[in-house]
Amino acid sequence: MGSTAEKFLADSEEKAFDQDHRRIINFNMGRYHTSVARGTARLVNLETAKRKAHVVKWRVMENLDKYLPEFEANFLRRGGKVIWANDVAEAQQEILNILQRAGVKRVVKSKTMATEEIHLNEFLTENNIESLETDLGEYIVQLLGQKPYHIVTPAMHLSKEDIAKLFHEKFGTPIDSTPEQLTAKARELLRDKYLEADAGITGANFLVADSGSIALSENEGNTRLSTTFPKIHIAVVGIEKIIPSMADLDLFWPLLSTHGTGQNLTVYNTILTGPRQPNETDGPEEMYVVLLDNGRTDLLAQKDQRQGLYCIRCGACLNACPVYQNVGGHTYNTTYSGPIGSVITPHMKGMEEFKHLSYASSLCGRCTEVCPVKIDIHKMLLLNRRDAVKADLVSKPEKWGWAIWKKMILKRNFTDFFGGKVKNFLLKTLFKKSWGHYHDMPQVAEKSFAQRWAEENNQTEKG
């Protein structure tokens, strides 16, 4: 087992028995589940909407080579610039080139998982450029020096008391400050930063091919401020975020908001199509879209698992997953955690190092059930396990164990030859460590069902 897997197991064990963590997550997720149930109930035919979204994303992934150039051509026509980045290093360097060429010293960022994926904050800091998160949750975890806990709710693992303590230590606010007071303080601290920033960096929820637009959803208004005041706007977006037309937003915006937060629509929904035009009064002078691959085409090449690219990052599968609720988001040690992260990460960052995530699932199917674009997530996890075995990425004891099990299970005589005592001994000897020291080993019956059936029938015949 590699170091990444070992770290996952160690961190999972620690977090699973952290009572405070469980209390906070259960409270926050309880509120989420209530809101989402209320929000999705307002949709007239949710199942039909999900099926339609699945088909749209299927069509996009099957024709990605058509839709991406269409988006690029339409975006260029409006004065924007498109940069294609194959990996993390390329994306970082292209963004740095833009910022250094313009003499940028300060950057404001809105919430974007794509920039987390390329470790942009750390990279810019190393190159003497201040990069400030403006989403409240992202701002809080940045102050703590942490990564986002959740792809939608970055500070889900913190209670209001935790945040009040942080602001008290950092800014001298009262230790008993209310959430409203803490939000007001954050607004006070951040408001001038938009005016001082030389560039704004965002992600995008969707790329609209037919108009060459990026569509952004938010609840705080910080994205609009980050794209309006600075002279340069850079959007870092995964190539899978594309949808065919503006009309598709009528489907995807409500699905994203109801499954992400339970709202009918998020408070601010913005469509940006290039830099400020001559007849416009605000907006950036330059606008760039960095189209990020970083392993996505490798996943696209996997016909069985390319469904993972349909994801619209609503976070519903994380909130539904019993494993995620117990071990937490940081445990995964990846940008994208939870069930969908376990599906896509092994393909984007390497099966050998991250195959263990596909086993971090009860396969209950709840993730598949709640997905707004009907990704068959738990099936994808099984397919990842299959690929790991095919690529010979499993340990020798595991291979030998399954080979012996297969040989025995295919012949009833072999299965019956080894009695319950032998089987229990083998389980305790060979599987105790992998089963886990917090679990009792299952007890195999002394006699198999076939043996007992034969005995019962013999007794009946004699009687």
**Residue 463 and residue 457: Cα distance in Å, rounded?**
10
Write down all domains in the chain, each with its CATH number in brackets.
Answer: 43-294 (3.40.50.10420), 396-462 (no CATH)
Q: Give the pLDDT confidence score for residue 338 in this predicted structure.
A: 96
Measured in degrees and rounded to the nearest 5, phi and psi for residue 197 equal: -70, 145
* pLDDT, tens digit, 9 for 90 and up, residues 345-394: 999 999 999 999 999 999 999 999 999 999 999 999 999 999 999 998 88
Largest CA distance in the chain: 100
Report residue 448's pLDDT band, with 50, 70 and 90 as the boundaries: confident
Compute the residue count for the chain.
Answer: 463
Please say whether the beta carbons of 104 and 232 come within 8 A: yes
Please determine, for residue 196, whether its predicted confidence score (pLDDT) is greater than 70: yes
Average pLDDT of 397-425?
80
Per-residue confidence (pLDDT) for residue 335, from 0 to 100: 95
Across the range 267-273, mean pLDDT stands at 96
| Reported confidence tier of residue 78, pLDDT bands at 50, 70, 90 | very high
What span, in angstroms and rounded, lies between the C-alpha atoms of 438 and 74? 58
Mean pLDDT, all residues of the chain: 93
Whether pLDDT at 116 is above 90: yes
What does the angle CA 337 – CA 343 – CA 346 come to, to the nearest 5 degrees?
90
**Cβ-based burial of 362 (10 A; exposed 0-12, middle 13-18, buried ≥19):** exposed
Q: What is the mean pLDDT of residues 147-163?
A: 96
Q: What is the pLDDT of residue 1?
A: 46
Share of the chain above pLDDT 90, in %: 81
The band of 281, judged by pLDDT with boundaries at 50, 70 and 90, is: confident
Q: How many CB atoms lie within 10 A of CB 414?
A: 12
Task: Retrieve residue 403's tokens.
Answer: 């080979």
Average pLDDT value for residue range 43-70: 97
pLDDT value, residue 118: 97
pLDDT at 463 over 60: no
Q: What is the pLDDT of residue 92?
A: 98
Query: pTM to 2 decimals?
Result: 0.91
Percent of the chain with pLDDT over 70: 98
pLDDT at 413 (0 to 100): 79
167: pLDDT confidence band, cut at 50, 70 and 90?
Answer: very high
Q: Is 269 left (phi over 0), alpha (psi -120 to 50) or beta?
A: beta
